[in-house]
Structure 1
Amino acid sequence: MMFRVISILLAAYFVLAAGLQYNDPDPLHWMLLYLTSALTCVLAAIRKDSLPLIYASIGMASIEIAITADGFFTWLKAGNENLIVAKMSAEKPYIELGREFLGAMISLVVAIWLWYRKR
């Protein structure tokens, strides 16, 4: 029962994250990642896990992590602001990239968790 509750809460988080992407400069692939992550959570909650969908989530999240990693590591080295509440600006692109990196990392961790559980 606890697994189902956690899966549904994670699905709700991913749907919310997808909805917040509508005003992003590159919303489509982020919305696709988050909605795929939400679907994997819903399917896991109803015990209809799909390994191919979990593998797709892992692949999509890994690609996004690779794309945004440079910005995240720049923030680790040079950024002194809180990544979550800092205002984005053209002078500090690492803020947006760092946030995207963390979002993709959350998707990856959840997908690996679901894969491990399904295995």
Structure 2
Amino acid sequence: MNLLFKILGYVFAVLFTVGAVLQYNDPDSLNWIIIYGVAALISLLFALNKIVFVIPLIFGVISFIGFIYLYPSDFQGFDLNDGDIVTVELGREAFGLLIISIVLLVFAFQSKKKL
């Protein structure tokens, strides 16, 4: 595996772990801790070269579907001063899923490339 992708795997494992920890005060924290925790685990397994491409592919596609589902029809930004708290929260959650989706799909295609 390319050293750059190995480093990215470790970096995103740490970032997603931090994201999971920061969810402790969210109203639906358990859901998001699990989502970010799974993304962190997949990233770590990718960095360790211990995962087949189908796992990040499936979770990447599911995350993208989640992004589409949660994306608010009237996106108002990420700052609470930008608009309604519910819409802002949905936007933040949706874009979190988009980031997870992009990272995991990149890892999936990188894993497939090495086969």
Give the TM-score band, short-chain normalised: 0.7 to 0.9
Q: Offset of 1:54 from its aligned partner?
A: 1.6
Hey, what's the Cα distance between the residues in 2 that align with 1:60 and 1:26? 19
Hey, what's the Cα distance between the residues in 2 that align with 1:48 and 1:88? 43
CA RMSD of aligned residues (A): 2.2
TM-score, normalised relative to structure 1: 0.79
Give ranges in structure 2 of 5+ residues lacking alignment.
none
Q: Percent identity?
A: 25
TM-score, normalised relative to structure 2: 0.81
- The 5-angstrom pairing of residues 1-119 of structure 1 reads 1-69=3-71, 71=72, 73-75=73-75, 79=76, 82-83=77-78, 86-87=79-80, 91-119=84-112
Hey, what's the Cα distance between the residues in 2 that align with 1:14 and 1:88? 26
Structure 1 residues 26 and 36, CA, compared in 2 at 3 Å: closer, same or farther? same
Equivalent residue pairs, number: 110
Hey, what's the Cα distance between the residues in 2 that align with 1:56 and 1:27? 23
- Cα shift readout 1:24-47 (whole Å, capped 9, x = no counterpart): 111122111111111111111111
